[in-house]
Amino acid sequence: MSLQAGAGQSVFITGASSGLGRQMAIEFSRRGYRLALTARRLDALQELKAELERSGGGEVFVAELDVTDDASVTQVFAETRALMGSLDIVVANAGIGHHGYIGKLPFARVRETVNTNVTGFMATVEAAMYHFREQGHGHLVGISSVAAFRGMPAGGVYGASKAAVTTYLESLRAETHTSPIRITTLSPGFIDTPLNRGAKSRPFVIPVEKGGKLLVDLIEKKVERATVPRWPWAVVARLMAIVPTGVIAKLR
């Protein structure tokens, strides 16, 4: 299909078939953005595209994309920019959440988490930055997590992968500081999605609809970094950094 330039800025989202990616797509569509939605499940993307078009939002392009396939990432970005004319906002959201004790979690799941949440994330950012630099502008949004602030029992691999996201984006923010390219790091707490519904505890959990709205509000404001929601996680995150390990160990 071809896309016509027009009604709003373009937004490219990875991991858009479910969870936060899907809800951000719905919220962006309501606000008139043109969307490029990617994920491994093309059928789910096509269903979402039909839903958004019925609701009368902006134009929607969908493409199958596994972020662990870096050649595919490069190709899909190039095709999308050609269709949309420019890439205004890229939301690097694709991620998975395997949890388990270190030494007990099958290493295949450790590798899958790192390949998706770290290597796949970096491949997405690298591709986005290539196009941002070529076109002279862009807004890169990375979805990290409050899990990046402190290692928790059974959350080592997931927390480490999100800490990598946060640190990587801090480097990128410094590299682009004097340029027209903007970098946003968003760190959600518990937002009700399939990623965390199996968790034993979900403190301060909020509905996905509210989470999607908060995320898009912050993206539109071009904040540098924020927890989602800001309260109570901005305070909790600081406390997590100083709580003794003995207290953390009791959270098993």
Write out pLDDT tens, residues 29-54.
999 999 999 999 999 999 999 999 99
Q: Is the pLDDT of residue 57 over 90?
A: no
Q: Is residue 4 one of the residues assigned to a domain? A: no
Band of pLDDT at residue 223, cut at 50, 70 and 90:
very high
Q: Is residue 73 one of the residues assigned to a domain? A: yes
Q: Is the pLDDT of residue 18 over 90?
A: yes
CA distances from 165 to 116, 124, 161, 206, 245 (A): 11, 12, 7, 23, 24
State the catalytic residue, choosing from 33, 101, 130, 158.
158
Q: How far is CA 45 from its chain centroid?
A: 16
pTM of the model: 0.94
- Residues 150-178 as b or e (16 or more Cβ within 10 Å = b): bbbebbbbbbbbbbbbbebbeebbeebee
Q: Is the pLDDT of residue 243 over 90?
A: yes
Clarify whether 158 is annotated catalytic.
Answer: yes
Q: Is residue 100 one of the residues assigned to a domain? A: yes
Counting the structural domains of the chain, the total is 1
Q: Is residue 211 within 8 Å of 191, Cβ to Cβ?
A: yes
| Identity of residue 218 | L
Q: Is residue 25 one of the residues assigned to a domain? A: yes
Model pLDDT for residues 126-179, shown as the tens digit of each residue = 999 999 999 999 999 999 999 999 999 999 999 999 999 999 999 999 999 999
Q: What is the mean pLDDT of residues 202-208?
A: 91
Q: What gap in Å lies between CA 4 and CA 7, rounded to an integer?
A: 9
CATH number of the domain encompassing residue 37: 3.40.50.720
Among the ranges given (127-131, 217-221, 247-251), the one the predictor scored with the smallest mean pLDDT: 247-251
| Mean pLDDT score across all residues of the chain | 94
Q: What gap in Å lies between CA 128 and CA 139, rounded to an integer?
A: 9
Q: Is the pLDDT of residue 2 over 70?
A: no
Q: Is residue 15 one of the residues assigned to a domain? A: yes
Greatest Cα pair distance, the chain, in angstroms, is 58
- Residues 43-71 as b or e (16 or more Cβ within 10 Å = b): ebbeebbeebeeeebbbbbbbebbbbebe
Q: What is the mean pLDDT of residues 227-239?
A: 94
Q: Is residue 213 one of the residues assigned to a domain? A: yes
Q: Is the pLDDT of residue 3 over 80?
A: no
Domain that holds residue 130: 10-249
Q: Is residue 2 one of the residues assigned to a domain? A: no
Q: What gap in Å lies between CA 87 and CA 61, rounded to an integer?
A: 13
Q: Is residue 34 one of the residues assigned to a domain? A: yes
Q: What gap in Å lies between CA 93 and CA 200, rounded to an integer?
A: 24
pLDDT of the residue at 6: 36
Q: Is residue 48 within 8 Å of 75, Cβ to Cβ?
A: no
